[in-house]
Amino acid sequence: MDHDPPPSAGEPPTTPSDTIAFQRAVIDWFDRDGKDYPWRRTNDPYAILVSELMLQQTRIAVVLERRYYQRWMERFPTPEALASAREEDVLKAWEGLGYYNRARNLQRAARDIVLHRGGTFPDTLEGLQSLPGVGRYTAGAVASFAYGQSAPIVDGNVIRLFSRIFADWEPVDSAPMKRAMWERAERLTPETAVRSYNSGIMEIGQRICTRGTPACLICPVSAWCRARSLGNPEEFPIKKSTSRVVPLDEHVLLHTRDDRVFLCPEAGSRRNGLWRLPEIPPEDAAGLPIRLKLVYGITRFRVTLHVYAPKGDSPPPSGSAGRWFDRSDSASLPPLGAPYRRALEDLALL
Amino acid 127 reads G
**Residue in 52, 95, 203, 266 annotated catalytic:** 52
- Give 111-168 as a DSSP string: HHHHHHSTTPPP-SHHHHHTSTT--HHHHHHHHHHHH--------HHHHHHHHHHTT-
20 with 11: CB under 8 angstroms?
Answer: no
301 with 246: CB under 8 angstroms?
Answer: yes
**Cα–Cα dist 166/224, whole Å:** 9
Which residues, in sequence order, are bridge partners of residue 306?
251, 293
Of 45, 40, 41, 43, whose CA–CA distance to 122 is shortest? 45
Q: Are strands 301-308 and 290-298 parallel, antiparallel or unpaired?
A: antiparallel
Ramachandran area for residue 292 (φ above 0: left; ψ -120 to 50: alpha; else beta): beta
237 with 160: CB under 8 angstroms?
Answer: yes
DSSP 169: -
What length does the chain have?
A: 350
Residue 276's SS3 state is strand
Active site residue 11: no
Alpha-carbon dihedral angle through residues 152, 104, 50, 125, given to the nearest 10 degrees: -30
Write out the catalytic residue numbers: 52
